[in-house]
Amino acid sequence: MLRSPFQQMSGGGERTVKKLRLSKALTIPEGTTVSDACRRMAARRVDAVLLTDANALLSGIVTDKDIASRVIAEGLRPEQTIVSKVMTRNPIFVTSDSLAIEALQKMAQGKFRHLPVVENGEVIALLDITKCLYDAISRMEKAAEQGSAIAAAVEGVERQWGNNFSAPYAFIETLRERMFRPSLSSIVVENTKVATVLPSDPVNVAARKMREFRVNSVLITTGNKIQGILTSKDILMRVVAQNLSPELTLVEKD
């Protein structure tokens, strides 16, 4: 019987969230200013913070993307803006006993990268989709090593059928390509538009481009040559947390 990448290699039990690499959540009051929140995030080197209300209950979440698209792109002043005005309210969360695959599905379907983890009514951690994917990929690699016989079977069937049956051969070839030789062309959407800025553009222009394209980064280009990349995390860590002006700071300075 086939098992998911999150299924434990022994015992047959499903892997739960508590067994993943959880990061201790940074939690601050929802009345904190954006600039102060960014400084705390930079000090902890995290790109998301959980917010609590007057009763110390989870009320929202703010990420580096929120800082770029809801603050900098909108021309708001970080030192004068309260995080509760730009946070995502009542974020979806999972319990520590939830299945890891369910947590990953929630993040993928909701198109967000962070998921609060709750245990006994209290937030104990913040799950990052990159760690979730890393865990899944590492387990898939182990499963692939143990299941090398599948590849051999595919090769054997292909040799047996030869060129006598074009349809089955095409099917086997497609199956082999997708299972064992994935390429960027198979996962990158065709005609994808890329957000770009000039080195001389200020950071707030880059933030508006991120918001327009609904992305977390922009390429810095001169003509057709890529000079660098600026991410929403860079804006948080290198601009807002450093009290630099997004209007006066050029992207090439980052």
- Three-state SS string across 59-92, please? EEEEEHHHHHHHHHCCCCCCCCCEHHHCCEECCC
For the chain, which ranges sit under pLDDT 70?
Answer: 1-13, 136-137, 139-141, 143-191, 254
The whole-number pLDDT of residue 108 equals: 85
User: May I ask the CATH class of domain 196-253?
Assistant: alpha beta
The whole-number pLDDT of residue 49 equals: 96
| Domain locations in the chain as residue ranges | 17-132, 147-186, 196-253
pLDDT single digits (tens) 40-70: 999 999 999 999 999 888 899 999 999 999 9
What is the separation of C-alpha 167 from the centre of its chain, rounded to a whole number of angstroms? 39
Task: State residue 9's pLDDT score.
Answer: 39
SS3 60: strand
The CATH code that applies to domain 17-132 is 3.10.580.10
Distance from the first to the final alpha carbon of the chain: 51
pLDDT of residue 1: 41
The whole-number pLDDT of residue 102 equals: 87
